[in-house]
């Protein structure tokens, strides 16, 4: 598991970026924590810098929204989902369990939505 | 509406087809484009693609969902005339497409300079332009870029990263003073000299030196800058010549209201070719920004389909990537607006600056501050009383 930050350091509406094999962004969406790959699947932008609204984060560069629950883009220009990761809170500290090895191809996230 | 013709098969044209379908239009859509290519993305042409870090496939704009658009693509066909009263588009191949609605999305082309016909002198607008320029940059420098606007600056930055010797020539005393104002223009232009690109300002170009192939660029003060390759980046001209005499009003762009409607019912214009009333500016503007070419088609589709579009859209926005630094700008600056740094440090090339008029923020520039930019752009005030025409 990758250590992220203490729970109070990730208040509602905020995001942090953690350097892993590929960078990961962890969000606090109205009290629920989500983790996704930080780099937009369209071009080079950090989703931790994006605008958070409900369970959607809007990419700061071209405004594709990604659903934090599924990683799916809600529309163009991004075509592919970002990976989602499990968030674990232990002793008031936030960790991320990376879902699949970073180099294995993303095959989508099933019909979660 | 049973049939709609979209003229221009690029970002705005594709976005128009998507918007029509998402607004439940189920009639015929024909998209006419004079390039042989399916819609592709232009911003990478001066950035990742020119650097060799993106492929032609990476540029494709279509997503898997677009397979359901059911569009009849007429690629490699140029529209040469419009009869507005009949909504008839005449093509260079002799065919005429008559429909109930027409979307004008012909974009813009690179402005050229006299003598641009010499080998080694390039402009950058299309995929074919980018392929040709990329091949020449691979041969080495020196490169002279004429014009320190966004595209010129991006080409210079990419060429520097490829190891070329680069000089940028700008006729204005301060690059980017138009969009960013003199203070911020100077700060951003410093990226060139920071990164080993020579910047020559306040002097025009007199012509090109060379027989058959360019050898140098001659400046107005008689200096000569040796050049293996030259990129002319002196702005873009809207592709509206073909509309002369059509009945659609053209004034350096297709004139439209805030709903993208021209004066002719059933004809709308979007993207780089449209000169549209913009409530942030309080006047008609021709925006040459990617995001505008995505947003306007949604409004235009509603207009065509007889719905009242929500024109309280976001502030004009563009970005630019230069020398590993990301610039983002939103709103509309006017001469005389006061600008101050809201956060960060220009010396570190990471800051956000807010432009104010009568105490209200009307525009924001961010340099490597994407997150703060996202908040500041949402706080921009509409300078004029909200006039929706
Ligand atoms: C090198 C480069 C870098 C850029 N970088 C950025 C950036 O970083 N950020 C940003 O915000 N914007 C950027 N832009 C601007 C952005 O790409 C444009 O705003 C956008 O492409 C406009 O889309 P459009 O569909 O309106 O016009 P265009 O993309 O110009 O497309 C118009 C299409 O219509 C075709 N056409 C023209 N006349 C006819 C005719 N008579 N018949 C049939 N077809 C016709 C053209 O060949 C073209 O394919 C950049 C542009 C370029 C060229
Ligand atoms: S980089 Fe995220 S939408 Fe373009």
B24, part of any domain: yes
Task: Check which CATH number belongs to the domain holding B175 and give it.
Answer: 3.50.50.60
Q: Residue A36 gets which letter from DSSP?
A: E
pLDDT band at B299 (very low <50, low <70, confident <90, very high): very high
Question: Is residue B319, in this structure, part of any structural domain at all?
Answer: no
Answer whether residue B306 shows pLDDT above 60.
yes
Pick from B252, B229, B236, B197: nearest CA to B116: B229
Instruction: List pLDDT tens digits, range B49-108.
Output: 999 999 999 999 998 889 899 999 999 999 999 999 999 999 999 999 999 999 999 999
- Residues B337, B278 share a domain: no
CB-side neighbour CA atoms (13 Å) of B358:
5
- Integer Cα distance of A78 and B63 in angstroms: 8
Contact B41/A at CB under 8 A: yes
B64 contact A CB<8A? yes
Whether residue A46 and residue B370 make contact (CB cut-off 8 A), yes or no, is yes
Are the Cβ atoms of A51 and B41 closer than 8 angstroms? no
User: B262 and B154 in one domain?
Assistant: no
Question: Distance from A49 to chain B by nearest Cα, in Å?
Answer: 4
Is residue B313 included in any domain, yes or no? no
Cα A65 to ligand 2 centre (Å)? 9
| Nearest listed ligand to the Cα of residue B123 | 1
Ligand 2 atom closest to residue A60's alpha carbon, by position in its atom list = 2
HSE (side-chain half, CA atoms, 13 Å) at B359: 0
Residues B226 and B264 in one domain: no
Separation of alpha carbons A28 and A16, rounded Å: 9
Residue B161 Cα to ligand 2 middle (Å)? 23
| B268 and B204 belong to one structural domain | no
Domain assignment present for B21: yes
The answer to whether the CB of A41 falls within 8 A of the CB of A76 is: no
What are the pLDDT tens digits along chain A (113 aa)?
999 999 999 999 999 999 988 999 999 999 999 999 999 999 999 999 999 999 999 999 999 999 999 999 998 899 999 999 999 999 999 999 998 754 444 444 333 33
Per DSSP, helices labelled H in chain B are 11-22, 56-59, 127-137, 150-161, 177-194, 290-304, 370-378
Instruction: Note whether B270 and B382 are same-domain residues.
Output: no
Tell me the shortest Cα–Cα distance from B99 to chain A, in angstroms: 28
| Residue where one domain finishes, among candidates B234, B260, B280 | B234
DSSP-assigned beta bridge partners for residue B322: B325
Q: Which of B182, B206, B234 is the last residue of a domain?
A: B234
- Torsion sign over Cα B44, B46, B48, B51: positive
- Give the residue among B187, B192, B225 at the shortest CA–CA distance from B206: B225
User: What is the sign, positive or negative, of the torsion defined by CA atoms of B307, B312, B313, B318?
Assistant: positive
Same domain, B154 and B226: yes
Query: Are B297 and B368 in a shared domain?
Result: no
Report the predicted TM-score, pTM, of the whole model to 2 decimal places.
0.94
Q: Are residues B49 and B149 in the same domain?
A: no
Pocket perturbation via mutation, ligand 1, pick of B6, B7, B8, B108 by most ligand atoms within 8 A of CB: B8
Task: Ligand 1: list residues with CB < 6 Å.
Answer: B 7-13, 32-35, 42-43, 45-46, 78-79, 105-108, 124-125, 151, 239, 242, 271-272, 288-291, 293, 318-320
B122 and B22 in a common domain: no
Whichever domain contains B351, its CATH number is 3.30.390.30
> Looking at domain A2-100, what is its CATH homologous superfamily?
Rieske [2Fe-2S] iron-sulphur domain (2.102.10.10)
For a pLDDT cut of 90, what percent of chain B falls above it? 93
| Closest chain A C-alpha to B317 CA, distance in angstroms | 10
Q: Give the residue numbers spanning the domain of B21.
A: 3-109+237-305
Q: pLDDT digits over B254-296, tens only?
A: 999 999 999 999 999 999 999 999 988 889 999 999 999 999 9
Q: Please state the domain count of chain B.
A: 3
**Residue at a domain's end among B234, B250, B273:** B234
For residues B370 and A60, the answer to whether their CB atoms sit within 8 Å is yes
């Amino acid at each position: 598991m990758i250590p992220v930050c203490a729970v109070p350091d990730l208040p509602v509406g905020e995001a942090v970026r953690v350097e892993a094999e590929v960078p990961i962004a962890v969000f606090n969406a109205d009290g629920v924590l989500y983790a996704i790959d930080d780099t937009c699947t369209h071009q080079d932008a950090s989703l931790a810098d994006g605008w958070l609204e409900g369970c959607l984060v809007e990419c700061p560069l071209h405004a594709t929204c990604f659903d934090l629950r599924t990683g799916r883009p809600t529309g163009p220009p991004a075509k592919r989902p970002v990976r989602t990761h499990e968030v674990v809170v232990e002793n008031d500290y936030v960790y991320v369990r990376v879902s699949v090895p970073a180099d294995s191809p993303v095959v989508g996230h099933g019909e979660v939505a | 509406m049973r049939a709609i013709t979209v003229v221009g098969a690029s970002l705005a044209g594709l976005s128009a087809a998507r918007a029509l379908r998402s607004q439940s239009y189920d009639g015929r859509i024909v998209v006419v484009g004079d390039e042989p290519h399916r819609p592709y993305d232009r911003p990478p042409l001066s950035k990742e693609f020119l650097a060799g870090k993106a492929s032609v496939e990476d540029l494709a704009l279509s997503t898997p969902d677009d397979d359901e658009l059911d569009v009849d693509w007429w690629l490699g066909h140029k529209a040469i005339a419009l009869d507005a009263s009949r909504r008839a588009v005449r093509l260079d191949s002799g065919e005429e497409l008559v429909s109930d609605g027409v979307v004008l999305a012909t974009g813009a082309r690179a402005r050229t300079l006299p003598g641009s016909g010499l080998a080694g002198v390039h402009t950058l607008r299309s995929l074919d332009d980018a392929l040709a320029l990329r091949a020449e940059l691979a041969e080495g420098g020196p490169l002279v870029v004429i014009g320190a606007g966004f595209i010129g600056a991006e080409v210079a930055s990419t060429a520097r990263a490829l190891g070329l010797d680069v000089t940028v020539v700008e006729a204005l005393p301060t690059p980017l003073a138009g969009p960013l104002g003199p203070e911020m223009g100077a700060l951003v232009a410093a990226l060139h000299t920071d990164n080993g690109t020579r910047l020559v300002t306040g002097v025009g170009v007199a012509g090109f030196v060379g027989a058959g192939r360019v050898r140098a660029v001659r400046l107005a003060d008689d200096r000569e800058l040796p050049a293996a390759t030259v990129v002319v980046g002196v702005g873009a001209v809207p592709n509206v010549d073909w509309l002369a005499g059509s009945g659609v009003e053209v004034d350096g762009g297709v004139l439209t209201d805030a709903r993208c409607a021209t004066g002719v019912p059933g004809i709308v214009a979007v993207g780089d070719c449209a000169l549209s009333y913009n409530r942030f500016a309080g006047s008609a503007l021709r925006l040459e920004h990617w995001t505008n070419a995505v947003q306007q088609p949604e409004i235009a589709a509603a207009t065509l389909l007889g719905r009242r579009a929500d024109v309280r859209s976001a502030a004009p926005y563009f970005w630019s990537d230069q020398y590993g630094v990301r610039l983002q700008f939103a709103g509309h600056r006017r001469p005389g607006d006061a600008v101050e740094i809201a956060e960060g440090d220009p010396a570190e090339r990471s800051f956000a600056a807010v432009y104010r008029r009568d105490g209200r923020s009307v525009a924001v520039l961010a340099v490597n501050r994407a997150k703060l930019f996202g908040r500041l752009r949402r706080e921009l005030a509409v300078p004029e009383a909200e006039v929706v025409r």
